[in-house]
Amino acid sequence: MVELDDETPRVGGTDGRSIYERALGEEFTALHPKIQERFGFTSADGVACIGRGTMEYVRNGGPHLLPFLWFGATHNTMFPEQNTAVPFTIRNYAYEDAFGRETVTWLRRFDMPRRRRFDAAMIYSEERERIVDYLGTRHHLAVDIDLAVSDRGGIEITTGPQRLYAVGTCVPLPLALSAQATVHEWYDDETEQFRIAVTVTNPLVGLVFEYRGSFEVEWIDCEAVPDAVRPVSPTAGE
């Protein structure tokens, strides 16, 4: 296992701000109030945010990507199936991980003919001064995240450099082997729903994976985060 270094934050939310507010700073107040609420809770609040809705479509870049997507499905990241009107659930829990870092889960479920998951969790890295997204059930892939406020008052997430963790080592991935994701989540006042659009591309093959749709959220009491939402083997060192 990678040793926790001195730069890794022991407690990510000690100043009372969520990891997203820390990353955005004063820009956080420019977000729509519903987006501020959804991205503003911490492990100290004792709640979780559960979203349920429908993705208008889930699709990929074509048959040549199927081996890669099948491999992703074994780690609960991307998957090969495509469909329209896909029932969707997203579970966001905030907790302190085994290294004392404030963590927010992104546990997405797509009810295709075969149920699929896309699991991730985010921390705020003091060393990198940005959010780091850990993908998969085992958090095997670490991705730097940039945040911005959209003209709709939504939050825009763009991925940057990526690192693969395997057998206790960290291997930076070259751009050609990386998948770059853009995520836009905003609140639609007319429908009173959250909207989301996600696109994953690669500089060599173009589109890899994408989905778009809407959902409503329910806030539930959560004094103790279920063990099932935690990673199998959390990664340190960011």
pLDDT of residue 99: 85
Q: Is 12 a member of any domain?
A: no
Mean pLDDT for 92-113 is 93
Domain assignment present for 140: yes
The whole-number pLDDT of residue 187 equals 98
User: Which residue has 């009173």 as its token pair?
Assistant: 192
Torsion of CA 93, 96, 99, 101, to 10 degrees: 90
The H-or-E segment that residue 35 falls in is helix 33-38
Rounded to two decimals, what is the model's pTM?
Answer: 0.89
For residue 61, report the phi and psi dihedrals to the nearest 5 degrees.
Answer: -85, 0
Is position 73 within any domain? yes
* DSSP assigned state of 233: S
Structural domains of the chain, count: 1
Residue 110 Cα to chain centre, angstroms: 15
Angle at the Cα of 213 from the Cα atoms of 53 and 124, rounded to 5 degrees: 90
Query: What CATH number does the domain containing 102 carry?
Result: 2.40.128.20
List the domain range (segments joined by +) for residue 71.
19-40+48-229
The yes-or-no verdict on residue 10 having pLDDT over 50 is no
The answer as to whether 235 is a domain residue is no
pLDDT of residue 3: 35
> Is residue 216 one of the residues assigned to a domain?
yes
Q: Tell me: the pLDDT tens digits for 45-80? A: 999 999 999 999 999 999 999 999 999 999 999 999
| 114, part of any domain | yes
Band (1; pLDDT cuts 50, 70, 90)? very low
pLDDT band, residue 235 (cuts 50/70/90): low
Query: Across-strand partners of 180?
Result: 201
- The mean per-residue pLDDT over the stretch 119-148 comes to 92
Domain contains 175: yes
| 11 lies in some domain | no
